[in-house]
């Protein structure tokens, strides 16, 4: 197929003089292998493409997208985006991004070792992971899923304002979801390993994590309700940080939906918290040199020693709030550029999770949470989520617990962080995890 940048250039060539046009073109190849009972349950080989076209004229924008790059469809999509312009309300800040002079970081996110990897080896990896999990522990009674997934993604953003940005990257992961059992009881656990090429993947670690997560919950009971200190496992803290990130979003701030809107410069969190969004960090699996508008990504310090320093912006929210884009436009080809963090991480402390636990007299290690989408309201700050984990008694991990909730507010939890662990770990999401000790959380159980 033609180079993406050429396809985007062609659409830009169709723009009229009185309009701004932005084109995002994406192409992705994906392979997914699922193993079950040492057979290939499914093998998916997929090629997808898409285009999103935004037209701005006289402070009004229209948008259209399509899941194919056929020429007739590209032309039809531009016409549709143009037609949609007329219905938008005029907004003096509305415009396509312009080059801002920030050079993109040189990130090498593409590995030929993945593009050349044979399908047979991918199948073998999924089967091997399932075997490792099944043999690891007699208490493992089933492997719900064992899979190998990889993708090769390319994209290009071109605008009539002079932006011409391309990116390409590879990624792959192994993941297993297992069932541990005994005495009529079942517990579940998952493990994964993620990288940019197959050689980065560690099947034994993924298997061991899945097995440990499932088996250590065997015999779990519902804890009594109490107010406790909780230690969030990196997997959980990364999800919590993702929610915090959504409250530091320039769009939420401008539209009156952020609980931190009026608090720039204030101490909104414990002094141990320095929160950085840095998509140029190649250790992050969501690393990218260009954002959704084709501007260079950059390192943004959101919280420093607990003080709120800045919000993230795309070009629209940056302009409207009197500043500029922070290179934080996030989107798919099927949406206009939104705003969001892309690779969020706390500056880690120095101690291991075991050392953090040893200092907790009466608490709870939270290994997994559920229902974050239904129990957390990032506008009001209410935080309530289902959880599972292990009790901590006198500095030692004690009995496993499940079927309880932990609750507080986002504002209060940020203030109640007493220590950040040293075990920073990049996860397959827009945030890194690190063990986090948070005091005075309500545990609702029996």
Partner 1 sequence: MTSSDDGPGRLLEPSLLRDTLHSALRTGGEFAEVFVEDRRSMSALFDDGRVEELTGGRSRGVGIRVVFGETTGFAHTADLSPEGLRSAAEAASAAASEGGSGLTVALDPVQEVHPGVVAVLPADVAKARKVALLEEADRVARGEGDAIRQVTVRYADSRRRIQVANSDGLLTGDDQVRTSFSVSCVAVGDGGMQTGRESVGHTVGFELFDRVDVADLARRAARRAITKLDAVPAPSGEMPVVVGPGGGGVLFHEACGHGLEADLVAKSASVFAGRRGEVVAAPFVTLVDDGTMAGEWGCYAIDDEGRPAGRNVLIEDGILTDYMWDRLRARREGCDSSGNGRRQSYRHLPMVRMTNTFLLGGEADPDDIVADTERGVYVAQLGGGQVNTATGDFVFGMSEAYLIENGRITAPIREGNLIGNGPDVLQDIDAIAGDFAMGSPGTCGKDGQGVPVGDGTPTLRVTRLTVGGTAA
- The distance of closest approach from Cβ of residue 234 to partner 1 in the complex, given in angstroms and rounded to an integer, is 20
CA distance 354 to 360: 10
CA distance 363 to 218: 19
Considering only 152-160, 274-282, 349-357, 375-383, which stretch makes contact with partner 1 by CB under 8 A? 375-383
Residues 392-421, interacting with partner 1 (CB under 8 A)? 402-409
Q: Does 384 bind partner 1 (CB under 8 A)?
A: yes
- The distance of closest approach from Cβ of residue 393 to partner 1 in the complex, given in angstroms and rounded to an integer, is 21
Strands 362-370 and 39-57: unpaired
- The distance of closest approach from Cβ of residue 77 to partner 1 in the complex, given in angstroms and rounded to an integer, is 7
Q: Which helix (H) or strand (E) holds 133?
A: helix 119-136
Tokens of 273: 């918290």
Give residues with Cβ within 8 angstroms of 221, minimum separation 6. Answer: 399, 400, 401, 402
The nearer residue to partner 1, 80 or 128, going by C-beta atoms, is: 80
Q: Does 186 bind partner 1 (CB under 8 A)?
A: yes
Q: Per-residue string for binding with partner 1, 292-331, x by CB under 8 A?
A: ----------------------------------------
- Go through the chain and tell me how many residues it has: 446
The nearer residue to partner 1, 386 or 395, going by C-beta atoms, is: 386
Asked if 159 contacts 20 with a C-beta cutoff of 8 angstroms, the reply is yes
Tell which one of 8, 81, 241, 329 touches partner 1 (CB under 8 A): 81
Considering only 71-79, 104-112, 156-164, 276-284, which stretch makes contact with partner 1 by CB under 8 A? 71-79
The nearer residue to partner 1, 93 or 108, going by C-beta atoms, is: 93
- Beta bridge partner(s), residue 362: 393
Tokens of 245: 């990130």
The nearer residue to partner 1, 162 or 222, going by C-beta atoms, is: 222
> Rg for the chain (alpha carbons), in Å?
24
**Alpha-helical regions (H) of 166-314:** 203-215, 234-247, 250-254
Q: Does 115 bind partner 1 (CB under 8 A)?
A: no
Residues 207-236, interacting with partner 1 (CB under 8 A)? 222, 225
Q: Does 374 bind partner 1 (CB under 8 A)?
A: yes
**Alpha-helical regions (H) of 158-306:** 203-215, 234-247, 250-254
Tell which one of 19, 91, 100, 362 touches partner 1 (CB under 8 A): 91
Q: Does 114 bind partner 1 (CB under 8 A)?
A: no
Q: Of 382, 431, 442, 373, whose CA–CA distance to 409 is shortest?
A: 382
């Amino acid at each position: 197929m033609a180079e993406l940048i050429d396809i985007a250039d062609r659409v830009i060539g169709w723009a009229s003089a009185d309009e701004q046009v932005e084109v995002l073109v994406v192409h992705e190849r994906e392979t997914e292998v699922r193993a079950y009972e040492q057979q290939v349950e499914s093998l998916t080989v997929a090629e997808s493409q898409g285009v999103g076209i935004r037209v701005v004229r006289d402070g009004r924008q229209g948008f259209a997208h399509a899941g194919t790059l056929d020429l007739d469809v590209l032309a039809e999509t531009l016409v549709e985006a143009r037609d949609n312009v007329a219905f938008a309300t005029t907004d003096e800040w509305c415009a396509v991004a312009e080059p801002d002079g920030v050079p993109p970081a040189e990130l090498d996110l593409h590995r030929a070792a993945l593009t050349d990897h044979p399908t047979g080896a991918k199948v073998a990896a999924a089967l091997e992971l399932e075997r490792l999990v099944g043999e690891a522990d007699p208490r493992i009674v089933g492997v719900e899923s064992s899979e190998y997934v990889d993708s090769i993604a390319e994209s290009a953003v071109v605008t009539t304002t002079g932006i011409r940005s391309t990116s390409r990257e590879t990624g792959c992961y192994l993941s297993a979801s297992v069932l541990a059992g005994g005495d009529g009881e079942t517990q579940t656990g998952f493990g994964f390993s993620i990288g940019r090429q197959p050689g980065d993947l560690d099947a034994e670690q993924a298997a061991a994590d899945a097995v440990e997560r499932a088996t250590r919950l065997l015999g779990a009971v519902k804890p009594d309700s109490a107010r406790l200190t909780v230690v969030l496992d990196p997997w959980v803290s990364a999800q919590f940080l993702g929610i915090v990130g959504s409250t530091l979003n320039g769009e939420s701030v401008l539209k009156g939906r952020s609980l931190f809107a009026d608090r720039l410069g204030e101490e909104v969190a414990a002094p141990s918290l320095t929160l950085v969004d840095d998509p140029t960090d190649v250790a992050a699996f969501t690393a990218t040199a260009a954002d959704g508008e084709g501007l260079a990504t950059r390192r943004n310090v959101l919280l420093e020693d607990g003080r709120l320093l800045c919000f993230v912006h795309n070009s629209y929210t940056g302009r409207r709030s009197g500043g500029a884009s922070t290179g934080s436009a996030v989107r798919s080809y099927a949406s206009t550029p939104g705003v969001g963090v892309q690779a969020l991480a706390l500056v880690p402390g120095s101690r291991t999770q075991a050392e953090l636990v040893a200092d907790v007299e009466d608490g709870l290690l939270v290994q997994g949470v559920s229902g974050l989408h239904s129990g957390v309201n990032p506008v009001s700050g209410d935080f309530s989520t289902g959880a599972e984990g292990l009790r901590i008694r006198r500095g030692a991990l004690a009995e496993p617990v499940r079927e309880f909730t932990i609750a507080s507010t986002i504002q209060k939890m940020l203030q109640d962080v007493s220590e950040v662990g040293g075990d920073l770990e990049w996860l397959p999401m827009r945030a890194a995890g690190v063990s986090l000790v948070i005091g005075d959380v309500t545990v609702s159980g029996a």
